[in-house]
Amino acid sequence: MTNLKVFSPEHLIRDAEESGFFQCQECGLVWFGRADIEECPSGLQHGMPVHVVVLCRRCDKVVPIEDFENHLGRKHKVA
């Protein structure tokens, strides 16, 4: 498996590498959990994917994939 590049501010690089999220450098598509994909899964042969970090829009915290459902479902439940 290749070591994918990171697209994040320097202080978020470690979080991006551990986040489980990837993004196409060309079209911006974001997916998770498939580190073995070497090009954009949209099938349009975009550039190599890069690790990205996902920040919660409400609290500005880093949300790794394993905490995604819990973070959004419990802490920010819309009434």
pLDDT tens for 18-42 read 888 988 888 888 888 777 777 888 8
Q: Is residue 23 part of a domain?
A: yes
User: Which region holds residue 35: left if phi is over 0, alpha if psi is between -120 and 50, else beta?
Assistant: alpha
Tokens 């979080």 sit on residue = 15
pTM for the model stands at 0.70
Q: Is residue 63 part of a domain?
A: yes
- When divided into structural domains, the chain yields a total of 1
Q: Is residue 47 part of a domain?
A: yes
Q: Is residue 24 part of a domain?
A: yes
Q: Is residue 1 part of a domain?
A: no
Task: Tell which wins on pLDDT, 61 or 4.
Answer: 61
Q: Does the structure show a pLDDT above 80 at 13?
A: yes
The token duo for 17 is 């590498």
Q: Is residue 30 part of a domain?
A: yes
Range of 22's domain?
A: 10-75
